[in-house]
């Protein structure tokens, strides 16, 4: 067994380290500026914009009190937060279940019309979502799903990108496991859920982050489907803080900072699977 060589700093590694630190700082700078802005009055935002000035005499948690106490326009904030959490959880779980089964079926089974179905998946992937908004809206009216969380979730629960990703990942799985499962008496569903799903953990981790982010940040489709204030998601609710009649930038900035936390925690939890899934799944097939 070979011993691992101790890591040594070379000019190349030091240069890469400095480069990645700079890139990380650039990526974190907007978040840092947003957090500082959430601690200052809105007048400072109008005067200087987003900046990193540490004016301790102006900094306080008053903006967060407005959000947590539900004052004024922020009275529905945590109701919107709950709606976004519920929609994101249901959407992500449903998308993982259905998309993984479709992608797995296209990758691991040979049947008539398989290539045609996969071609249609690629074609749908290239169609801008704005083109199909009107037909989808009419469909939601017909199904009586307007102003319902299911009207937000169902139209995009099975998306072409997750199907493509799961299919590419499944192509790299050994089919010997399927034969072994059949010999042991497993059904096809048993083979998928008990054998293949654990092997596809990196793909599930990557798609979990991507689909959860898409659902959490989705603005246009929920804005079309949802009608009443109590059904709004967080992006729509935050947008309502600023209008031609009144603006509540204190609640907007503080609410935006709090809105980042779920996705940040999700990424930290699934980052290992996310990186592995992208690097492994992206080269299969």
Split at pLDDT 50, 70, 90, the class of 283 is: very low
Neighbours of 253 (CB within 10 A): 24
pLDDT above 70 (res 8): no
Structure tokens at 30: 């907007």
Three-state DSSP at 242 gives: strand
pTM of the complete model: 0.85
Instruction: Decide if pLDDT at 236 tops 90.
Output: yes
With left for phi above 0 and alpha for psi between -120 and 50, is residue 127 left, alpha or beta?
beta
**How many angstroms separate the CA atoms of 142 and 164, rounded?**
30
- Dump pLDDT digits (tens) for 182-221: 888 888 888 899 888 888 888 898 899 889 999 999 999 9
> CA-CA distance, 75 to 93, in Å (whole number)?
29
CA distances from residue 33 to 50, 85, 99 in whole angstroms, order as listed: 6, 25, 38
Give the rounded percent of residues in the chain with a pLDDT score beyond 70. Answer: 91
- The confidence band for 154, taking pLDDT boundaries of 50, 70 and 90, is very high
**pLDDT tier, 54 (very low <50, low <70, confident <90, very high otherwise):** confident
Stretch(es) of the chain classified as CATH 1.10.3720.10: 67-281
Residue 121 pLDDT greater than 50, yes or no: yes
Provide the strand spans (E) within 182-257.
none
The residues facing 247 across adjacent strands are: 242
pLDDT value of residue 13:
81
Please report the pLDDT score of residue 202 as a whole number.
86
**Residue range 67-281, CATH number:** 1.10.3720.10
């Amino acid at each position: 067994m070979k011993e691992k060589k101790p890591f040594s700093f070379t000019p190349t590694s030091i240069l890469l380290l400095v480069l990645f630190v700079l890139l990380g700082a650039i990526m974190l700078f907007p978040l840092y500026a947003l957090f500082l802005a959430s601690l200052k009055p809105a007048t400072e935002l109008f005067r200087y914009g987003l900046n990193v000035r540490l004016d301790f005499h102006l900094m306080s948690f008053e903006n967060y009190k407005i959000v947590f106490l539900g004052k004024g326009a922020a009275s529905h904030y945590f109701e919107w937060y709950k709606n976004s959490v519920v929609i994101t959880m249901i959407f992500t779980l449903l998308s993982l279940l259905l998309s993984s089964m479709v992608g797995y079926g296209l990758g691991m089974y040979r049947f008539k019309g398989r290539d045609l179905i996969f071609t249609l998946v690629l074609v749908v992937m290239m169609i801008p979502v704005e083109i199909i908004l009107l037909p989808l809206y009419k469909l939601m009216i017909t199904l009586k799903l307007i102003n319902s969380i299911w009207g937000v979730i169902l139209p995009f629960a099975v998306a072409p990108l997750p199907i493509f990703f799961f299919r590419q990942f499944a192509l790299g799985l050994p089919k010997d496991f399927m034969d072994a499962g059949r010999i042991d008496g497993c059904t096809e569903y048993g083979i998928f859920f008990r054998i293949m799903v654990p092997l596809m953990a990196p793909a599930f981790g990557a798609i979990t982050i991507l689909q959860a982010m898409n659902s959490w940040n989705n603005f246009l489709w929920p804005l079309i489907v949802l009608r009443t204030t109590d059904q709004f998601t967080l992006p729509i609710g935050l947008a309502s803080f600023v209008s031609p009649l009144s603006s509540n930038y204190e609640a907007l900035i503080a609410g935006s900072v709090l809105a980042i936390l779920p996705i940040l925690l999700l990424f930290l939890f699934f980052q290992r699977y996310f990186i592995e899934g992208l690097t492994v799944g992206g080269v299969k097939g």
